[in-house]
Amino acid sequence: MTTKNNNPKNEIRIIWTTLCVLVMILCVSCIKVPKNDNGEHPNLTKLKAHSSEFTPEIISLGNNVYTAVGYDGSNSSMIVGKDGVIIIDALRALGAAELVATKFREISSKPVKAIIYTHGHADHTGGTSAFITHEQDVLIIAREGFKEELQERSPVEEVLKRRNARQFGRNLPESDVINRGVAPGVTSIDRVGKGYLSPNITFNDSLRIEVAGVELELYSADGETNDQLFVWVPQFEALFAGDNYYKAFPNLYAIRGSQYRDVKVWGESILRMSHFPVDYLVPGHTRPISGKVYAHQCLVDYGEAILSVYDQTILYMNRGFTLQQTVDHVRLPKRLAEKPNLQEFYGMVPWGVRSIYLHCVGWFDGAPSNLLPLSEASEAKHMIKMVGGERKMLQFIKNAMRECDYQWALRLSDYLLCVGYRDDKVIDYRISILKCLASQQLNAPARNYYLSCAYELETDR
């Protein structure tokens, strides 16, 4: 036997709740986002097309130089000499490195004479032992100061790990991941870092060395890291750029959290590379480039783009612009912004501007209102009071979503959460807003970060 609840107040509450849910669904479903014929934002289509850079392949550059692309998060290269081979970078996961090492041995069974680390990031150093089988006295070469700035050495390692996972979408369902901007969306987790071997030769400014009959020139080149180097092989006119160059606007600042990357020196390092007669340009990520004219132009454009962001930031700072005003004004020149190798798949101009600004003057940007700002909670209370209360603020969020003003909607949701307003609709809206922001992104780390935050909210409910 069942009983019927005839309480009018309960019925009104049920009707009101149902209407609110329907309105929320209607608001989200009516969001107008620019779409291609395939029903998605043009930026998303472009980011998906960029995944072709990571198709697994051993690419031959002439007769004696080979680069493995797409087998892990970074590239690994092999130079074949008279009586041995040289490996440049060793991937992240030992399992992926073993696969590449096997493919390299199918090309040449000569022993490994040297391994060169272009820098200390784990995705270039974790699989080294896979390339060394029974060889003895293998040279392992890196710069002085190798690995000194890695997150494992940071007092805030825990927060860096969480942000790293968000930037790369490591905890997202595989179906939600497109790519990482300069790497496949999903990479091997088979014994990550278990093949790392420490360098036994380091140098400061430069090193000229002959290995297996191949003349190698190694040059220090601060940029994405302060232990970065590039390798010039005159015999094959091949230059291995490490992570100072890849086919995307550079990550002048990593949203996972990173020490200051000297933007000015980075640009100068790239222009220095452009002085070599490069026929094969091998990035640390993305596919190699061939042809002297094209390789030269790519390097020049890349260096000029980095220095343009630096010079503009300094210009506006000296004019007394605040941090946000500077961010609002700095733009790549149109001729550079349209270059295929400068699309913001990985880094973004505004992130670089913020990094430069804060490095030069610290947290205070000169605006008196930022000298002793209100606490977040206090500002949120003022904003909510000004609009007429929490429910009015909720209405403003819905209005912003209708107008596709997602960044503003996200900020308004910050205010409600900051004062402890935990209405389920706030979380529902916030999840939808984050997903909408992700759906518009050309930049893979930004997309992954938005989706990761949305995913965390969904799983924590």
DSSP of 52-117, one letter per residue? GGG--EEEEETTTEEEEESSSSS-EEEEE-SS-EEEE---SBHHHHHHHHHHHHHH--PPEEEEE-
Which of 143-157, 249-263, 435-449 has the weakest average pLDDT?
143-157
Percent pLDDT > 90 in the chain is 86
| Residue 423 vs residue 104, higher pLDDT | 104
Domain covering 374-461 assigned CATH 1.25.40.880 in the classification = yes
pLDDT averaged over every residue in the chain: 92
pLDDT bracket for residue 461 (50, 70, 90)? confident
Pairing between strand 57-61 and 229-233? unpaired
Q: What is the pLDDT of residue 152?
A: 63
Is the pLDDT score of 12 beyond 60? no
pLDDT bracket for residue 438 (50, 70, 90)? very high
Q: Residues 323-366: pLDDT tens digits?
A: 999 999 999 999 999 999 999 999 999 999 999 999 999 999 99
Helix crossing, 349-361 with 263-273: angle to 10°? 120
Which of these CATH numbers, 3.30.360.10, 2.30.30.170, 3.60.15.30, 3.40.50.2000, describes 47-361? Answer: 3.60.15.30
CA torsion angle for 449, 342, 291, 187 (degrees, to 10)?
A: 0
Q: Kindly state the average pLDDT of the residues 422-442.
A: 95
Q: What is the pLDDT of residue 1?
A: 37
Is the pLDDT score of 409 beyond 60? yes
Copy the structure tokens of residue 84. 């041995």
In whole angstroms, what is the distance from residue 77 CA to residue 107 CA?
Answer: 12
The SS3 of residue 241 is strand
In whole angstroms, what is the distance from residue 307 CA to residue 332 CA?
Answer: 10
Q: Residues 88-140: pLDDT tens digits?
A: 999 999 999 999 999 999 999 999 999 999 999 999 999 999 999 877 799 99
pLDDT bracket for residue 33 (50, 70, 90)? low
Q: Kindly state the average pLDDT of the residues 31-51.
A: 84
Q: What is the pLDDT of residue 422?
A: 79
| Residue 14 vs residue 129, higher pLDDT | 129
Q: What is the pLDDT of residue 150?
A: 67
CB 179 within 8 A of CB 46: no
| Residue 457 vs residue 4, higher pLDDT | 457
Q: What is the pLDDT of residue 128?
A: 97
Sequence-separated (6 or more) residues with CB below 8 Å from residue 71: 56, 91, 96, 99, 100, 188
CB 102 within 8 A of CB 173: no
pLDDT bracket for residue 307 (50, 70, 90)? very high
pLDDT bracket for residue 26 (50, 70, 90)? very low
Q: What ranges do the domains of the chain cover?
A: 47-361, 374-461
In whole angstroms, what is the distance from residue 105 CA to residue 126 CA?
Answer: 19
pLDDT bracket for residue 151 (50, 70, 90)? low
Q: What is the pLDDT of residue 445?
A: 98
